[in-house]
A and B are shown apart, each in its own frame.
Chain A
Amino acid sequence: MAVDANSSFIQWVIYIVQNYWPLFLRGAEVTLIISLTGTIIGFAIGILIGIIRTIPIDSNTHILKRAVYKVVNVLLLIYIEVFRGTPMIVQAMVVFYGVAMIWGIHLTTFAAGIFIVSINTGAYMAEIVRGGIISIDKGQFEAAHAIGMTHSQTMAFIVLPQAIRNILPALSNEFVINIKDTSVLNVIGVTELFFQSKSAAGNNYRYFEVFLITCLVYLVMTFTVTRILRYWEKRLEGPDVYTIHGSQTVPEAEIKIVGKK
């Protein structure tokens, strides 16, 4: 279909979809890969920092250990404050051009994109994870300690599984935010969805039509991701029913009971 300056809005939209769909698709792909990888790495960073920042330190702890802990804690706080307190678009510029200038490392724009989203997400997740750990009932820690578990065992098998379950909604939220916010990476030339849309729009001088389509693509991605994660969260809650096993006194093998909420 040919279009010119007199073509209608609808004609333009159809034309752009027909001719540029591979571009949108590639852009969406890059956006998804960067935001997913960034969210996962950021989550890992967050868990690590959350664990470190909740290590119990009291007057019985060795003085050297306390000093090391204090220094590490201050460094982590600086990291969290800097990355939460500055826009990601600025971080992208500083990191991308900074590592090139200071260390002579020329990251590909793709690698730089993943790196920036990861450390940015990590700073947010660190506080979310810490909150998740703190919110776990003290009784869970005590019960684990009482059967002889060490602090790391308590965290690994009892506290973190519960904390992570509780912060999953925040993690999903962070993923959705990342899908949208990777658009700022176009300033360093990452070929994500916004960047691709800009070139499609520039080629035709049709900004409204193109970005309306872009809008829709973003919406489809965030909506789908939200649904999938919600489903996953529900699955993790475990089944609502459990089986009562029979014994000598209760010969019936299995009874289903609806669990209390």
Chain B
Amino acid sequence: MENIIEIRHLQKYFGENEVLKDINFSVNKGEVVCIIGSSGSGKSTLLRCLNLLEQPTSGEILYHGQNILEHDMSNAVYRAKMGMVFQQFNLFNNLSVLENCTVGQIKVLKRSAKEAKKTAMEYLELVGMSGFIDARPHQISGGQKQRVAIARALSMEPEALLFDEPTSALDPEMVGEVLKVMKSLAGSGLTMLVVTHEMAFARDVARRVVFMDGGVIAEEDTPEVIFNNPNNERTRIFLKRILDN
């Protein structure tokens, strides 16, 4: 299977603190991978390294076989191919819902305003927010914001979409609407990499689950194995603690 991203020996230090220790990992086209693990295990940092929001200390990130850390390709071009959905939504506060979804297309992909609007409306429709195109971010709820953020990322038509704990900042009653959108995206064959605490989502939707602990990938397998019969003792302890709550 064709892999989109391959990570080799990735290391990340924050000062003296080694947050990622020799990570090797790849994502195939059309795959949904969930990354789970306790806070501070490095899962968000890994995701942010993939989008170069954090500069890895050493190692390689191969995008279709090309090492993007060697500056053969501009960071901006690469980032446009990796969509990102943040925990805190990060919608552009100065722009309306529609403009949030068109600004990147117009400025980065150089699409015409009309074309950008057409694409944006398509994805806003998909996440059920097409009625709210004139609203400003501060006027809509958290769940709605996150759905707009997903539409914004999709409007760039990225090769893969990275989700950094997309439901962690939401009120409980809004988690469902966002997960529903994510599930339908997963069903449509989009390549997704999801850092999450939603174990049910990981179990039902992921093709592969990655368990991170202390800056390393402790275990990586199908959801069936990870949730029913993990090989690593630490995975077992983590899941027991989470599922008991």
Contacts and interface: CB of A to CB of B under 8 A. Distances in A.
Interface in A121-146: 137, 139-140, 142-146
Interface string B189-209: 000000000000000000000
Given A149-B76, A149-B108, A260-B139, A244 B53 contact: no
Contact of B92 (A60, A158, A250): A158
B104 interface: yes
Given A244-B131, A247-B130, A259-B138, A147 B104 contact: yes
Interface residues of A, number: 32
B132 A147 contact: no
Nearest to A244: B131
Interface centre among B80, B94, B108, by most chain A C-beta atoms within 10 angstroms, is: B94
B108 A140 contact: no
A245 B104 contact: no
Interface in B87-104: 88-95, 103-104
A245 B79 contact: no
Given A150-B76, A157-B103, A250 B131 contact: yes
Interface string B124-151: 0100001111111011100000000100
A259 B136 contact: yes
A165 interface: yes
Nearest to A250: B131
Interface in B74-121: 75-84, 86, 88-95, 103-104, 107-109
B152 interface: yes
Contacts of B95: 158
Interface string B201-221: 000000000000000000000
A242 B79 contact: no
A139 B90 contact: yes
Interface string B33-76: 00000000000000000010101000000000000000000011
A147 B109 CA distance: 10
A147 B132 CA distance: 21
A142 B44 CA distance: 14
Interface in A42-56: none
Contacts of A157: 103, 107
Given A148-B108, A245-B133, A142 B53 contact: yes
B79 A165 contact: no
Q: Return the 5 tightest CB-CB contacts between A and B, nearest first.
A: A148-B80, A147-B104, A139-B90, A143-B90, A146-B84
Given A139-B86, A242-B134, A259-B139, 14 more contacts: A58-B55, A140-B92, A143-B91, A145-B53, A146-B83, A146-B84, A147-B83, A149-B107, A161-B94, A242-B132, A244-B132, A246-B131, A247-B125, A247-B130
Interface of B: 51, 53, 55, 75-84, 86, 88-95, 103-104, 107-109, 125, 130-136, 138-140, 149, 152-153, 156
20 contacts: A139-B86, A139-B88, A143-B86, A145-B75, A147-B80, A147-B84, A148-B76, A148-B77, A148-B80, A148-B81, A149-B107, A161-B94, A165-B94, A242-B132, A242-B139, A243-B134, A244-B131, A244-B132, A245-B131, A245-B132
